[in-house]
Amino acid sequence: MKSILIKDTTKEEREKIVAESIGYIDGSCDGCMAGLAEMYQDYIDGKREIKDINMSFKATYESGDDGPSKNGCSYS
């Protein structure tokens, strides 16, 4: 498997990696998939590695920091 590190990929390759990992982002009823794609924009732009983005997301989730609240089929 080829490395997915920023130093080993082009911006176009990183866009493809994120798109293939997330899947079809327009098919979600609550719009959360588009937010997920935005979460990885720093990786696509070559600013932060995927592992760092994932670790910061996990830390926020585990810490209980404020986030969107579920309201039916959407977040508010």
What are 1-24's pLDDT values in tens digits?
Answer: 789 999 999 999 999 999 888 875
Position 5 scores a pLDDT of 97
Average pLDDT, the chain: 76
Integer-rounded Cα radius of gyration of the chain: 14
pLDDT of residue 13: 96
Whether the per-residue pLDDT at 56 is higher than 80: the answer is yes
Position 31 pLDDT exceeds 60 = no
The pair of three-digit structure tokens given for residue 55, joined into one six-digit string: 């670790």
Per-residue pLDDT at 44 exceeds 70 = yes
Write out pLDDT tens, residues 60-73: 555 555 555 556 56
Rounded to 10°, the helix 11-22/32-39 angle is: 150
